[in-house]
Amino acid sequence: MLPICKANPPELVRSPMNYIGGKYALLPQILPLFPKDINVFVDLFCGGCNVGINAQANKVIFNDNLKYLIDFYKLLYSLPKEDTLTHIRNRISEFDLSLTNNDGYISLRKLYNEKRNPLDLFVLVAYSFNHQIRFNTAHEFNNPFGKERSSYNPRMENNLIEFIDTLQSRDVLFSCFNFDDFDFSKLSINDYVYCDPPYLITTGSYNDGKRGFTGWNKTHEIRLLEILDELNSRGIRFSLSNVLRHKGNHNTILSEWLDSNDYYVHHLSKDYSNSSYHLKNRGETETDEVLVTNYICR
Ligand SMILES: C[S@@+](CC[C@H](N)C(=O)[O-])C[C@H]1O[C@@H](n2cnc3c(N)ncnc32)[C@H](O)[C@@H]1O
């Protein structure tokens, strides 16, 4: 049996990206399930980085196959914070961005698609519909304007500042691989792999295969579970976020994998406030969100 864990959640940092499928609200339930003796923490599907940025570890590797997102984090890490904030404020005034200026938004979007300044992606996302990150097949950012709803506000700036401060105070590395191209061979038993893949039975803009990047399907799901088995056989601890059931759909690949292995399934509370949630009280249509670990937590 692999080592036991127990960690107290520290103060939480929120991603500046309002990421669909982001785990910020679930962190109070997820973080205590992580071991506290991690050397390298791999956030294999980092998305908004909500998990990796809050994980206790000597080093964090943030990986995602969305290159433009990773470019943004790399810049946040390397650039002085004031330069980042100044660039954002300058862009907002230069393009007169507001809750109503669609033309300004479209002009900045055009500039981003030509020049690919990663900080401009952040400004666009701040003003875009539902703050979504969407690209077309030509890898052009194509999310529409978030009229009357989306803007760069003080809350977002605070999140960004805290995020940069935390990122720059830590030993981190960024990579941009498809999960199955990631080099796991360098990991050892002191390391840890956290997986928050697109969910097979729910939809998110990152798993519909319509943004110029690979979608998520059964083949990916099966391959990921194989990788987790391989890590387990090498004594490397992992956890996997997923849903077993959602809107009447069941993830049978996941439940069959769980049936055939001795992993631990932690059912998370749907109201996100605590995990004292009894499975038997759930209706068939309710979402059963879980964290699977290959070690026991007490
Ligand atoms: C559910 S989101 C992760 C959210 C993140 N845990 C958070 O709290 O912000 C899933 C992420 O997986 C990434 N992704 C999708 N397919 C991938 C693949 N084949 N390899 C690596 N990353 C992938 C998506 O770009 C997306 O950012």
Q: How confident is the prediction along the chain (298 residues), in pLDDT tens digits per residue?
A: 465 555 545 689 999 987 888 999 999 999 999 999 999 999 999 999 999 999 999 999 999 999 999 999 999 999 999 999 999 999 999 999 999 999 999 999 999 999 999 999 999 999 999 998 989 888 999 999 999 999 999 999 999 999 999 999 999 999 999 999 999 999 999 999 999 999 999 866 555 555 556 689 999 999 999 999 999 999 999 999 999 999 889 999 999 999 999 999 999 987 644 444 444 445 656 889 999 999 998 6
Expressed in angstroms and rounded, the spacing between residue 46 Cα and the centre of ligand 1 is: 6
Q: Which residues pair with 141 in a beta bridge?
A: 135
With a 6 Å cutoff on the Cβ, whether 15 touches ligand 1 is: yes
Indicate the CATH number for domain 2-66+176-297. 3.40.50.150
* d(C-alpha 78, C-alpha 84), whole Å: 10
CA atoms within 13 A on the CB side of 117: 14
What's the CATH superfamily of 71-160? Adenine-specific Methyltransferase, Domain 2 (1.10.1020.10)
Rounded to 10 deg, the angle between the 252-259 and 218-233 helix axes is 20
Helix (H) or strand (E) holding 84: helix 81-94
For residues 175 and 218, the answer to whether their CB atoms sit within 8 Å is no
- Please report where in the chains the tokens 């703050």 appear, as a residue: 131
| Whole-number pLDDT of residue 7 | 52
Q: Is 235 left (phi over 0), alpha (psi -120 to 50) or beta?
A: left
With a 6 Å cutoff on the Cβ, whether 206 touches ligand 1 is: yes
Q: Rounded to the nearest 10 degrees, how much is the dihedral formed by the CA atoms of 241, 245, 249, 255?
A: 80
Length of the chain counted residue by residue: 298
With a 6 Å cutoff on the Cβ, whether 22 touches ligand 1 is: yes
* d(C-alpha 212, C-alpha 141), whole Å: 10
> How is residue 271 written in tokens?
């109201």
Expressed in angstroms and rounded, the spacing between residue 78 Cα and the centre of ligand 1 is: 23
Is 89 strand, coil or helix?
A: helix
Q: Whose CA is nearest to atom 27 of ligand 1?
A: 47
With a 6 Å cutoff on the Cβ, whether 52 touches ligand 1 is: no
For residues 104 and 95, the answer to whether their CB atoms sit within 8 Å is yes
| Whole-number pLDDT of residue 20 | 80
Q: Whose CA is nearest to atom 26 of ligand 1?
A: 47
Expressed in angstroms and rounded, the spacing between residue 280 Cα and the centre of ligand 1 is: 30
| Whole-number pLDDT of residue 10 | 60
Residue 267 neighbours by CB under 8 Å, 6+ apart: 275, 277, 279, 288, 289, 290
Expressed in angstroms and rounded, the spacing between residue 138 Cα and the centre of ligand 1 is: 20
Is 266 strand, coil or helix?
A: strand
For residues 135 and 213, the answer to whether their CB atoms sit within 8 Å is yes
Ligand 1 atom nearest residue 178's Cα? 20
Q: Parse the chain into domains and list their residue ranges.
A: 2-66+176-297, 71-160
Expressed in angstroms and rounded, the spacing between residue 107 Cα and the centre of ligand 1 is: 28
* d(C-alpha 146, C-alpha 124), whole Å: 10
Out of 15, 68, 202, 206, mutate this one to test ligand 1's pocket (max ligand atoms within 8 Å of CB): namely 206
* d(C-alpha 12, C-alpha 2), whole Å: 27
| Whole-number pLDDT of residue 184 | 98
> How is residue 270 written in tokens?
């749907």
Ligand 1 atom nearest residue 51's Cα? 8
Expressed in angstroms and rounded, the spacing between residue 195 Cα and the centre of ligand 1 is: 9
